[in-house]
């Protein structure tokens, strides 16, 4: 065959191959997997919408924030100075000012995720799945595709209380509700940072002058009686020089335990005339985790314990010469329950420890392995009575955001040997907020507006979900419009599903399970304005 004839034959074959490949790709996209761009921050920081990734000048801490409320003003005046914040120093006090054009000079698009379509045609959705679905209140508008976390459904009752999810059978009473605990691999993905000892300011005095309040190091403060034996204020490696008993008390006024989310830092309203934020809408959180690496001089004599005062009870986590014990006390100091286990220190007596109070569970882990675990069961009403100061059901129903939630207190005790502490980190759990419905946010075209408490938060009116109905919530609860808020579904959604139940997502509206972030928001090429460099380090599976 001549070269000319061969080329003539290759051309149609190549075209045919391309057409077949294109058809396969379309079929794959339509029936197997499809990419979506995260449009908003309702799932942040698990998944990011449009955001800015900012590294603070004092500690080097890096976090992402939502720039939506700043963009218009910065476009009008790029040189206008805006306050900047460092969550490792203060939640609400600005650490300085920066020109808006520079602050927003690295705006990134939302994460791109791959979604496994039609998975739920063959498998039941699991609680805690991150799911893409058609927006039931606006299935054809610009926000027709939503992504949230599935927290309940498939024929059960669901109730949100003090930030957690409780479930019961459809015929169960209030006393039958039990807390829904996350699997460990999902819990690891949703911890929210409160403090990390790796981030310390270069010049504490300069920070103090800018935040206009005293700043004397980490939020863990040594007791006065033993403070002179501590090295802690300006170093990542803390140490205590003698074997006597000592303790560290958490300074609640420096970094409170609450549901503050750094992603929302420019969504919180500023205080007029001050470089501070108004954080009246944040709620105390008692589901906390402390991790650290502790190296005692004498591991055979060393003891340490963490005491968490929360919800009118005292939760004690202890490590004592090979024995790990978690114990729960009531307000009068009576021991209610305890569980013990054993542990082995690592090389050189290293204790790579974790103390966690999460989903009504106390956990001690050493070297990444659970060594003591205690689960306690409170129904939602008991939880509210313990979590809220002077709880009154009628007052709670009238104004759930106005009640006084008890603030947790934390004390860390040591004795028996000099020691060093490194890599101290405190995290808090997701917290699903309550409140009242805003009827102005419900579309009039969808039918009569609904008033009252947010859906699934009324203790006497839990969400009752049928076998094809699901409750969806955003991880960024304070900035998520989800099943708690929606109201009645759009007539088109009702027509497609035959279900006019408000607030829920019907099975027929599920698109698929979010599988992975395949293209995180790319890095910008310095000086060009183009964001094209893939941020490969942030590619991840979605938990």
The partner residues of 329 in beta bridges, in order of sequence, read 314, 335
pLDDT at 521: 78
Q: Answer whether residue 165 shows pLDDT above 80.
A: yes
* pLDDT 10s digits, 312-323: 999 999 999 999
pLDDT of 437 above 80: yes
Distance of CA 176 to the CA centre of its chain: 27
What is the average pLDDT across 163-181? 97
473-527 pLDDT, tens digit each: 999 999 999 999 999 999 999 999 999 999 999 999 999 999 999 988 777 766 6
Query: How high is the mean pLDDT of the chain?
Result: 92
In sequence order, the 6+-apart residues with CB closer than 8 A to the CB of 412 are 220, 247, 248, 249, 250, 290, 304, 305, 306, 307
The region, left, alpha or beta by phi > 0 then psi within -120 to 50, assigned to residue 217 is left
pLDDT over threshold 70, residue 16? no
Mean pLDDT, rounded, for 389-394: 96
> In a 3-state reduction of DSSP, which class is residue 42?
coil
* Burial class of residue 532, CB neighbours in 10 A (0-12, 13-18, 19+): exposed
What is the model's pLDDT at position 28?
47
Which pTM does this prediction carry?
0.92
Decide which of 144 and 250 is more confident: 250
Which position has the higher pLDDT, 3 or 397?
Answer: 397
Say yes or no to pLDDT of 259 above 50. yes
Q: Rounded to the nearest 5 degrees, what angle is found at the Cα of 337, between the Cα atoms of 334 and 338?
A: 115
The rounded Cα 63 to chain-centroid distance in angstroms is 13
Between CA 499 and CA 505 the distance in angstroms is: 9
Cα distances (Å, whole numbers) of residue 64 to 98, 103, 107, 519: 16, 12, 10, 16
Residue-level pLDDT at 527 = 61
What domains sit in the chain, N to C, each tagged with a CATH number? 112-187+434-517 (no CATH), 216-253+286-428 (2.60.120.200)
CA distance 115 to 123: 15
């Amino acid at each position: 065959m001549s070269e000319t004839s061969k080329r003539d034959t290759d051309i149609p074959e190549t075209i045919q191959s391309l057409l077949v490949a294109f058809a396969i790709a379309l079929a794959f996209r339509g029936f197997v997997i499809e990419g979506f761009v995260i449009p908003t921050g309702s799932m942040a920081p698990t998944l990011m919408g449009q955001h800015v990734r900012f590294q603070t000048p004092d500690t080097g801490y890096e976090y992402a924030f939502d720039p939506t409320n700043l963009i218009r003003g910065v476009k009008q005046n790029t040189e206008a100075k805006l306050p900047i914040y460092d969550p490792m120093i203060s939640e609400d006090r600005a650490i300085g000012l920066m020109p808006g054009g520079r602050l927003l000079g690295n705006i990134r698009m939302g994460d791109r995720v791959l979604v496994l379509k039609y998975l739920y045609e063959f498998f039941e959705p699991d609680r805690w799945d991150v799911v893409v679905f058609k927006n039931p209140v606006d299935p054809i508008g610009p926000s027709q595709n939503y992504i949230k976390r599935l927290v309940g459904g498939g024929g059960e009752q669901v109730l949100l209380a003090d930030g957690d999810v409780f479930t019961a059978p459809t015929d169960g009473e209030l006393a039958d509700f039990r807390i829904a605990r996350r699997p460990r691999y999902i819990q690891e993905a949703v911890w929210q940072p409160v403090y990390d000892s790796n981030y310390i300011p270069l010049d504490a005095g300069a920070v103090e002058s800018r935040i206009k309040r005293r700043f004397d190091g980490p939020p863990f403060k040594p007791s006065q009686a033993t403070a002179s034996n501590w090295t802690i204020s300006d170093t990542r490696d803390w140490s205590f020089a003698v074997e006597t008993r000592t303790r560290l008390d958490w300074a609640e006024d420096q970094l409170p335990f609450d549901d503050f989310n750094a992603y929302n830092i420019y969504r919180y309203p500023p205080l007029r005339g001050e470089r501070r934020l108004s954080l009246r809408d944040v709620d105390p959180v008692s589901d906390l985790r402390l991790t650290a690496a502790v190296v005692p001089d004498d591991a055979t004599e060393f003891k340490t314990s963490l005491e968490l005062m929360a919800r009118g009870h005292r939760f004690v986590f202890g490590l004592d010469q090979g024995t790990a014990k978690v114990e729960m006390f009531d307000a009068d100091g009576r021991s209610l329950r305890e569980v013990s286990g054993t542990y082995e220190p690592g090389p050189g007596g290293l204790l790579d420890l974790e103390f966690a109070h999460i989903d009504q569970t106390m956990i001690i882990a050493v070297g990444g392995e659970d060594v003591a675990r205690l689960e306690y069961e409170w129904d939602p009403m008991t939880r509210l009575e313990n979590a809220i100061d002077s709880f009154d059901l009628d007052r709670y129903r009238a104004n759930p955001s106005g009640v006084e939630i008890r603030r947790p207190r934390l004390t860390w005790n040591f004795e028996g040997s000099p020691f060093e502490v490194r890599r101290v980190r405190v995290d808090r759990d997701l917290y699903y907020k309550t409140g009242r419905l805003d009827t102005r946010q419900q579309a009039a075209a969808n039918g009569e507006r609904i008033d009252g408490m947010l859906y699934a938060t009324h203790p006497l009116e839990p969400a009752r979900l049928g076998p094809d109905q699901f409750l969806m919530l955003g991880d960024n609860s304070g900035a998520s419009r989800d099943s708690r808020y929606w109201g009645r579904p759009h007539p088109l959604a009702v027509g497609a599903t035959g279900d006019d139940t408000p607030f829920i997502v019907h099975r027929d509206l599920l698109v698929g399970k979010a599988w992975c972030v395949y293209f995180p928001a790319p890095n910008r090429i310095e000086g060009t304005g183009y964001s094209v460099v893939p941020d490969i380090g942030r590619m991840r599976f979605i938990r």
